[in-house]
Amino acid sequence: MKTATVSALIPAYNEEKSIKSVLIALKAAKKIDEIICINDGSSDKTLLEIQKVEDITILNMKKNKGKSYAIVEGIKAAKGDIIVFIDADIKGEIAKAADALVTPLIDGTYDVTVGYPLANSFDKFFRPLSGERAYFKHDLLKVLDKLEQKGYGMELFLNHSFKDKRIKCFPMKNVLTQNKLEKQTYSIAFKLTVVEALDILTEVLSQKNPSSFFLRSYIYSFYLKKPTSHDSKIDKMIEQVRDYIKKQVS
């Protein structure tokens, strides 16, 4: 049987300080066949930094259209059977993380994987919003039209769209997300934080039943279906509300 091929998509907006190192690190991944970096209309030197990395595909968008639009353009261009999303602002053992994300799909044991950084216990609260994730391309093509306009609400949208799939969520202990202020000016960091929050809130409030959507896109597959993680105060807190949440989504 033919082994599934893998395309990695890295959307980048004003990531001149981090994008080159992310791409170089990703090239060491053993299970990635294609790397596509989407420059989402950056106003800094992001494109120049991307162009310094050999043997990758570059999609250059003249205007900034948002994360989900960039991802959709990458999906359309991707040749792989499996698509893995990698954020442009992570650091650490990126290649190992990418391989870990796609392995369960290659093996056929899961349909979706989500890996979240684990710098501290509170990262577990944000694991449903992690940008490090993998899907089969044929599954993503079914939701492509809707995905395009989701912006930073794309993770919640995808969580809900694939809520009935086999989802593996796990901590990436040696991968960290860089603070926005480490790599961007205060004004841009503030703007992006506001845009992210508004996109996520808009995605929730645009639903016919926002509370049900939030439970099923943020809580259900990520906390009731407990990922591999142990010995944490956060785990104990999650355990205390499991019974209540289970009643709400049943």
Give the model confidence (pLDDT) of 17-54 as tens digits.
999 999 999 999 999 999 999 999 999 999 999 999 99
Give the model confidence (pLDDT) of 114-148 as tens digits.
999 876 666 677 889 899 999 999 999 999 999 99
Give the model confidence (pLDDT) of 233-242 as tens digits.
545 555 555 5
Give the model confidence (pLDDT) of 176-199 as tens digits.
887 666 666 677 777 878 888 888
222: how many CB neighbours lie within 10 A of its CB?
23
Q: HEC string of the chain? A: CCCCCEEEEEEECCCCCCHHHHHHHHCCCCCCCEEEEEEECCCCCHHHHHHCCCCCEEEEECCCCCHHHHHHHHHHHCCCCEEEECCCCEEECHHHHHHHHHHHHHHCCCCEEEEEECCCHHHHHHHHHCCEEEEEHHHHHHHHHHHCCCHHHHHHHHHHHCCCCCEEEEEECCEEECCHHHHCCHHHHHHHHHHHHHHHHHHHHCCCCHHHHHHHHHHHHHHHCCCCCCCCHHHHHHHHHHHHHHHHHC
**What is the predicted pLDDT for the residue at 12?**
95
Which domains are assigned to the chain? 6-249 (3.90.550.10)
The CA distance from 156 to 126, in Å, is 11
Give the model confidence (pLDDT) of 99-114 as tens digits.
999 999 999 999 999 9
**What is the predicted pLDDT for the residue at 232?**
54
Give the tokens for residue 203: 């995605």
Give the model confidence (pLDDT) of 202-219 as tens digits.
999 999 988 888 888 888
**Distance between start and end Cα atoms, the chain:** 39
54: how many CB neighbours lie within 10 A of its CB?
8
Q: Quick one: pLDDT band at residue 88, thresholds 50, 70, 90? A: very high
**What is the predicted pLDDT for the residue at 226?**
56
pTM: 0.84
**What is the predicted pLDDT for the residue at 190?**
78
**What is the predicted pLDDT for the residue at 125?**
79
